[in-house]
Structure 1
């Protein structure tokens, strides 16, 4: 205890800077006047070694290095895609390719459904069903629209919930 300082004052001065966690890797101090001082904190856990025998890589959670995590993601995606019906089985065979090419020839520019292109015209690369086939849409000219790849990806993500993940989960449970 500091000489000449009562215990209550020592405790009071100690409690003026209280550490608290606000997010992983960052701490802040709450001062007596309720202001904050931030500082970066050390990581919670040091990286470990990759669990793949002979791999010198470091893992930052999950036991696999970044390279093996990427390989695992590709492997899992291939397993899901192996159970997914082929494009021809989903109705995108030679007849669809002809319909698609004819539509792009008549309507070469993206219809820009999200108004992201401004005044510029962007060439379309994809033909999209306004009403998706799985919801009863047809290949009729009135149900098709020309989109650039970015707009088509955005529309698909909004309809299917992140690029078809909802439907892929359903397909992965089928015995196809």
Structure 2
């Protein structure tokens, strides 16, 4: 009896391979490099996000993120929208790690539980977006 087959895990590759392998021969070289780097980048981005989200200077924003209302809404949102919208816009299908406010809470507190103001992002995209917003706010405050 032959082994069950599945598609190669490389994005867009349609090569059938045995079920106990992850990549076809053409893409096997990518496995050790990409998988290790990807996991390390994800770990670093997650740590950056956790450090920011648990810092003491945040006050009411962190209390909000620990609230039952937010936890329920964000959990439901992730179940309904599992992919990172920023990566997906670039043609990459990556699992989203968290729910982000499109308009930040600092800019409009009233939109904190508005489903129209939510999007799913991976840690890397979220950290990038937060950094851009913070720089934009700093430039605005200097004027």
TM-score by length of 2: 0.49
Q: Could you say which structure has the larger radius of gyration? A: 1
Give the helix-richer structure, 1 or 2: 2
- Report 1 or 2 for greater relative contact order, CA contacts < 8 Å, sequence distance ≥ 6: 2
TM-score by length of 1: 0.40
Give the strand-richer structure, 1 or 2: 1
